[in-house]
């Protein structure tokens, strides 16, 4: 366990162990983006359980960018005070909390589709997943979105989050710009990898200018979109290297998109059975080229395999295991090194849309006393 319990740093923040809670949609906020007490309690439970770094569920930067109902917002100053309470409680419990910033583009839950005036993306196409029409973003609209990211980051910092993470993965807006499948533009935002990544670079620079040099900025990337027409590993390495040069503080490497699954490849939330650490090879390709910390995510369950991975990578990120066992790290550090109890049944995904984030097994355990 020694290697799992080693400290490491993101920017100037020291993290007490090398396990990260990867962001997941929680569905536990109010309709106007404020965290409910249930969300505060579940996030605090992770801190009490010993998770080194907690990345909160996606926070939309504007109503236009909201992907799912009852998710957290950073779109307006009215969320700062209620989010401050969550940040304070988590901090008091010993947690380090990161806000994940999102604009969904045309990747939205169909339950909130009728709330959208239009779906926006890099190019005017039929969305390959929903088949709904997508309007091409104008340059002025792109600049507004970039500005919205900066404002959202300032709100996160004011609320007391320790860092922010740019969500550039899983088929959302920034990932759509990176993908040749969706980005058919002929201006400076389309064509080469450098051009398709320009939105991501400008978002990073806008946030950096807003929060200052010492506030950590992370990014979550899809290193492979899960099909041959999307982002490919060699392209993600190029983008990661540029981000590292610009000063990004950490990169979480995922893979897969809803479009990938639709095209016969894969999405990012893989149900059992699957090889543990399915996307590890992509994280290693990026780690080999950058100086900043790199985090690997997807399917980690066995602490012995995690320890082996940590010989080559900075941190391991998990989501579903912490939904079932928020105190998983305490169990492992206490000497019980049996794998996480999560069986990747994905019933937690069904609960999110019905009643909010939870695990059917964890809930039964709590109900039983």
The number of beta carbons lying within 10 Å of the beta carbon of residue 188 is: 12
Query: pTM here?
Result: 0.95
Contact 269, 237 (CB under 8 A): no
Q: Sorting pLDDT into bands at 50, 70 and 90, what band is 268?
A: confident
Q: For position 362, what pLDDT does the model report?
A: 60
Q: Mind listing the pLDDT tens digit for each residue in 62-114?
A: 999 999 989 999 999 999 999 999 999 999 999 999 999 999 999 998 888 77
The SS3 call for residue 327 is: coil
Handedness of CA 172, 178, 182, 184 (dihedral sign): positive
pLDDT at 368 over 50: no
Query: Which among 133, 107, 134 has a CA at the least distance from the CA of 122?
Result: 134
CB 95, CB 47: distance < 8 Å: yes
Sequence length of the chain is: 369
Q: Which of 60, 149, 172, 189 is catalytic?
A: 172
Instruction: Read off the pLDDT of residues 135-158 as tens digits, 9 standing for 90 and up.
Output: 999 999 999 999 999 999 999 999
CATH class name, domain 8-367? alpha beta
- Give the model's confidence band at 182: pLDDT under 50 very low, under 70 low, under 90 confident, else very high: very high
Cα angle value 57/328/33 (rounded, 5°): 15
pLDDT exceeds 80 at position 304: yes
Question: Nearest 5°: phi and psi at 286?
Answer: -75, -40
Peptide bond into 273 cis (omega under 30): yes
172 catalytic per annotation:
yes
Calpha distance 231→233 (Å, rounded): 7
């Amino acid at each position: 366990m020694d290697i799992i319990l080693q400290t490491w740093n993101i920017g100037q923040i020291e993290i007490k162990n090398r396990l990260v809670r990867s962001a997941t949609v929680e569905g536990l906020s109010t309709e106007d983006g404020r965290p409910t007490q249930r969300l505060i309690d579940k996030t605090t439970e992770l801190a009490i359980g010993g998770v080194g770094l907690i990345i909160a569920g996606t926070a939309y930067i504007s109503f236009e960018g909201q992907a799912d109902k009852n998710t957290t917002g950073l779109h307006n100053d009215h969320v700062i005070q209620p989010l401050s309470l969550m940040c304070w409680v988590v901090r008091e419990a010993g947690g380090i909390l990161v806000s994940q910033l999102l604009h969904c583009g045309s990747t939205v839950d169909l339950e909130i589709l009728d709330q959208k005036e239009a779906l926006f993306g890099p190019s005017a196409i039929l969305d390959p997943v929903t088949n709904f029409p997508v309007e091409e973003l104008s340059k002025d609209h792109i600049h507004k979105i970039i500005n919205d990211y900066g404002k959202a980051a300032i709100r996160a910092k004011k609320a007391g989050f320790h860092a922010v993470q740019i969500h550039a993965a899983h088929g959302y807006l920034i990932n759509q710009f990176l993908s040749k499948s969706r980005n058919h533009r002929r201006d400076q935002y389309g064509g080469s990898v450098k051009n398709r990544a320009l939105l991501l670079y400008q978002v990073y620079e806008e946030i950096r200018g807003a929060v200052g040099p010492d506030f950590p900025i992370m990014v979550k990337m899809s290193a492979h979109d899960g099909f041959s027409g999307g982002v490919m590993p060699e392209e993600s390495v190029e983008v990661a290297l540029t981000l590292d040069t610009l000063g990004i503080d950490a990169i979480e490497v995922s893979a897969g998109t809803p479009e990938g699954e639709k095209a016969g490849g894969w999405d990012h939330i893989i149900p059992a059975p699957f090889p543990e650490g399915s996307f590890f090879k992509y994280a290693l390709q990026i780690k080999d080229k950058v100086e900043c910390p790199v985090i690997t995510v997807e399917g980690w369950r066995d602490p012995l395999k995690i320890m082996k991975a940590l010989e080559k990578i900075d941190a391991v990120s998990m989501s579903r295991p912490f939904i079932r066992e928020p105190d998983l790290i305490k169990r492992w550090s206490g000497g019980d090194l049996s794998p996480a109890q999560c069986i990747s049944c994905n019933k937690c995904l069904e609960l999110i849309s019905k009643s909010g984030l939870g695990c059917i097994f964890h809930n039964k355990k709590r109900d039983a006393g």
